[in-house]
Amino acid sequence: MPSPASPTRPRAGTDSSGFRLGNVVHAIQATQQSIHTTALVPRLCLTLANLNRVVYFICDTILWVRSVGLASHINKEKWRMWAARHYCCSLLLSLARDLYEISLQMEQATRDRAEREKSPPQDPPGYSVADEETEWLQSFLLLLFRSLRKHPPLLLDTVKNFCDILNPLDQLGIYKSNPGIIGLGGLVSSLAGIIIVAYPHMKLKTQ
């Protein structure tokens, strides 16, 4: 491990700051792109999510400046909480977009099913309200499964956002999880991210 006087230390810091600034620039570019999304709900969700990502990366950069000793007076806990809040907001808005897309896919699947089944099904003898509720739940879950199975990018994006949000929810005290659950969520999110990078067609597209 290099000592503080080692010449490799400043270069590592420069690379790290460049990486963080690159994240800010990328988030700004994503915001500019999402503004031009055709559908209203995805446009609002993605634009606000990306704006929160911009603030999150700015907070992360400020925390990095504090961690390397460039500005020791910075309140670390304050900026960490700000970062967690904006990261959480970004993920919640991304999940809202995912749920909107899922609802559209389920509506389309329902219309397709109605086209295939013109005549309404007949209730069997002894049919009760409890049976109707159970059948409704089963139908809903089956429809959800079929909708996501036909659209792997949507499934992958939803799973990734859901796993990512566990950590900021825990940091903010909104929903406490044990470290094992958070670690598992991080692993699943990382695997989903690797799949998206390795197979670009698995990235959820915007219209």
Tens digit of each residue's pLDDT (9 = 90 or more) over 18-61: 667 778 888 888 888 899 888 999 999 999 999 999 999 999 98
In 7-166, DSSP assigns E strands to none
Q: Is residue 55 part of a domain?
A: yes
Q: Is residue 31 part of a domain?
A: yes
Domain extent, residue 97, equals 15-114+146-202
Q: Is residue 40 part of a domain?
A: yes
pLDDT tens per residue, range 177-198: 899 999 999 999 999 999 999 9
Q: Is residue 131 part of a domain?
A: no
0.85 cut: is pTM over it?
no
Domain tally for the chain?
Answer: 1
Q: Determine the Cα–Cα distance for residues 151 and 188; give it in Å rounded to an integer.
A: 18
Q: Residue 42: which residues within 8 A CB-CB, separation 6 or more?
A: 34, 97, 100, 101, 206, 207
Q: Is residue 8 part of a domain?
A: no
Dihedrals phi, psi of 186, to nearest 5 degrees? -65, -40
pLDDT at 15: 54
CA torsion, ordered 126, 144, 159, 58, to nearest 10 deg: -120
Per the CB < 8 A criterion, the answer to whether 92 and 158 are in contact is: no
Q: Is residue 133 part of a domain?
A: no
Q: Is residue 7 part of a domain?
A: no
Q: Determine the Cα–Cα distance for residues 35 and 53; give it in Å rounded to an integer.
A: 15
Per the CB < 8 A criterion, the answer to whether 58 and 21 are in contact is: no
Q: Is residue 32 part of a domain?
A: yes
- Of 59, 51, 46, 50, give the one whose Cα is nearest residue 20: 59
DSSP state, residue 181: H
Per the CB < 8 A criterion, the answer to whether 163 and 186 are in contact is: yes
Measure the CA angle with vertex 48, ends 150 and 103; round to 5°: 25
pLDDT tens per residue, range 129-166: 455 567 777 888 888 888 888 899 999 999 999 999 99
Q: Which amino acid is at 26?
A: H
Instruction: For residue 91, give both structure tokens.
Output: 């993920």
Indicate the helix (H) or strand (E) that contains 172.
none
